[in-house]
């Protein structure tokens, strides 16, 4: 739907925004379900994610391992701090390149935007030097490659008569509500 936009704020923040042609529930699930993450969160073409641990609950562990198929790779570890289903994720992550980077505190919001979703990710780094090093990796190229892949996983089939894509691949279950006996 759109390419990501990346901007800085102050000395320690990076703000990433991107629109998706899918409802917030689908975009949220794509960020929290391991089987879905392994399909799209791959960075540039040719990379894979052989290990994906994503325990989407407060205190839940995160571990993503990427491989370029040529002996190269890196991994990310982290923990979820808070989750508001279909609306917001808050987690702490660190890249291992191979040494661990300082903690990156990440808040990701999923806001309804017409017939799609506006994703707003705010990363808070410990200092300007860490932020500069992170931005120096060219991370936005890998992020956009992954987000474009995610966009493609949402839609398949032919456009309908109104030019809209016909089917969503991510199943959306209603949140479980406690029942009264």
Give the residue extent of every domain in the chain. Answer: 5-153
Give the pLDDT of residue 156: 52
Give the pLDDT of residue 153: 84
pLDDT averaged over 10-residue windows placed end to end, the chain, 181 residues: 87 97 96 96 91 98 96 95 98 92 97 96 97 91 93 60 36 38 35
Tell me how far apart the alpha carbons of residues 72 and 50 are, in angstroms, rounded to a whole number: 13
74-80 contact pairs (CB < 8 A, 24+): 74/98, 75/51, 80/55, 80/56
Q: Give pTM, 2 decimals.
A: 0.84
5-153 maps to CATH 3.30.530.20: yes
DSSP 100: B
Closest alpha carbon to 88 in 13, 31, 20, 12: 31
pLDDT in tens, 30-58: 999 999 999 999 988 899 999 999 999 99
Q: Is 39 helix (H, G, I), strand (E, B) or coil?
A: helix
Task: Provide the token pair at 53.
Answer: 């641990």
């Amino acid at each position: 739907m759109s390419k990501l936009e990346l901007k800085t704020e102050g000395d320690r923040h990076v703000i990433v925004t991107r629109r998706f042609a899918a409802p917030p529930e689908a975009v949220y699930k794509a960020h929290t379900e391991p089987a879905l993450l392994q399909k799209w969160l791959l960075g540039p073409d040719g990379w894979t994610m052989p290990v994906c641990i994503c325990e989407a609950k407060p205190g839940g562990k995160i571990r993503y391992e990427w491989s370029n198929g040529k002996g190269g790779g890196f991994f990310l570890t982290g923990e979820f701090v808070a989750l508001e289903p279909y609306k917001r994720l808050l987690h702490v992550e660190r890249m291992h390149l191979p040494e661990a980077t300082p903690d990156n505190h990440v808040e990701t919001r999923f806001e309804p935007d017409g017939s799609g979703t506006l994703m707003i990710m705010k990363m808070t780094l410990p200092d300007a030097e860490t932020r500069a090093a992170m931005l120096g990796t060219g991370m936005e190229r890998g992020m956009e490659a992954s987000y474009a892949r995610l966009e493609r996983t949402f839609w398949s089939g032919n456009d309908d008569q109104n030019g809209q894509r016909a089917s969503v691949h991510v199943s959306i279950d209603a949140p479980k509500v406690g029942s009264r006996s």
